[in-house]
Amino acid sequence: MVSLHSYLILSAILFSIGTIGVLTRRNAIVIFMCIEMMLNAVNLTFIALSKYLGNLDGQIFVFFVMTVAAAEAAVGLALMIAFFKNRESIDVEDLNLMKW
């Protein structure tokens, strides 16, 4: 039997890997994949807690997170394509027209 703690620790590790990925990667698509990883780490937390607490709210939450992540993916890809058309790149180093 895998305990709740193991799940929570696993999802915390996944979330941290995602966060570090977002902060260190340069390619917008890879950054977005890291964000998706963070969201899925949260999903894992929700499912584990839902099972542990014996109530379904967490699982319902996961449904919504999944749909929202899909909508974000679609919008994100569209924005990247629009950017790519004008700049021929999706490197975040090229997001540099505006700086203070």
Report, in Å, the least distance between residue 70 CB and another protein.
4
Report, in Å, the least distance between residue 10 CB and another protein.
13
> What are the backbone dihedrals phi and psi of residue 25, each rounded to the nearest 5 degrees, phi first?
-80, 160
Task: Report CA-CA distances (Å) from 52 to 5, 64, 73, 79.
Answer: 10, 20, 30, 39
Burial environment of residue 18 by CB neighbours within 10 A (0 to 12, 13 to 18, 19 or more): buried
Q: Number of residues in contact with another protein, rule: CB under 8 A?
A: 52
Report, in Å, the least distance between residue 21 CB and another protein.
10
> Is residue 92 within 8 Å of 28, Cβ to Cβ?
yes
Which residues of the shown chain bind another protein in the complex (CB under 8 A)?
8, 15, 18-19, 22, 28, 31-32, 35, 38-39, 41-42, 45-46, 49, 52-53, 55, 57-58, 60-61, 63-68, 70-83, 85-87, 92, 95, 97-100
